[in-house]
Amino acid sequence: MSPLIAPSILAADFANLQREVEMLNSSVADYIHIDIMDGVFVPNISFGIPVMQAIHRHANKPLDVHLMIVNPDNFLEAFRDAGAEVISVHYEACTHLHRTLQAIADLGAKPGVAINPHTPVEFLTDVIQDIDMVCMMSVNPGFGGQKFIENTYSKISRLKDLILAKGAKARIEIDGGVNLQNAPKLLAAGADVFVAGSFVFNSSDPVKTISELKSISQD
Ligand code: DX5
Ligand code: ZN
Q: Kindly list the domain boundaries of the chain, sorted by start residue.
A: 4-214
C-alpha to C-alpha distance for 183 and 150, rounded to whole angstroms: 12
Q: Residue 146: CA atoms inside 13 Å, Cβ hemisphere, count?
A: 16
Percent of the chain whose predicted confidence (pLDDT) is above 70: 99
C-alpha to C-alpha distance for 20 and 186, rounded to whole angstroms: 27
Distance (angstroms) between ligand 1 centre and the Cα of 36 equals: 11
ipTM: 0.99
pLDDT interval class at 1 (50, 70, 90): confident
Residue 218 reports pLDDT greater than 80: no
C-alpha to C-alpha distance for 121 and 33, rounded to whole angstroms: 22
pLDDT digits (tens, 9 = 90+) for 156-215: 999 999 999 999 999 999 999 999 999 999 999 999 999 999 999 999 999 999 999 999
Nearest partner of 97 among 119, 121, 72, judged by Cα: 72
Burial 78-114 (b: 16+ CB within 10 A, else e): ebbebbbbbbbbbbbbbeebeebbebbeeeebbbbbb
Q: 175 an active-site residue?
A: yes
Distance (angstroms) between ligand 1 centre and the Cα of 6 equals: 11
Determine the residue type at 19: R
pLDDT interval class at 217 (50, 70, 90): confident
Nearest partner of 34 among 52, 19, 20, judged by Cα: 52
pLDDT digits (tens, 9 = 90+) for 33-80: 999 999 999 999 999 999 999 999 999 999 999 999 999 999 999 999
Determine the residue type at 132: D
pLDDT at 122: 98
Residue 219 reports pLDDT greater than 60: no
CATH 3.40.50.12780, applies to 4-214:
no
Q: List the binding residues.
A: 8, 33, 35, 66, 142-145, 175-177, 197-198
Assess whether the C-beta atom of 142 lies below 6 angstroms from ligand 1.
yes
Assess whether the C-beta atom of 200 lies below 6 angstroms from ligand 1.
no
Judging by DSSP bridges, how do beta strands 63-68 and 193-196 pair with one another?
A: unpaired
pLDDT at 70: 98
Whose CA is closest to atom 6 on ligand 1? 141
Assess whether the C-beta atom of 141 lies below 6 angstroms from ligand 1.
yes
C-beta neighbour count of 172 within 10 angstroms: 21
pLDDT digits (tens, 9 = 90+) for 111-149: 999 999 999 999 999 999 999 999 999 999 999 999 999
C-alpha to C-alpha distance for 96 and 11, rounded to whole angstroms: 31
Name the pTM for this structure.
0.98
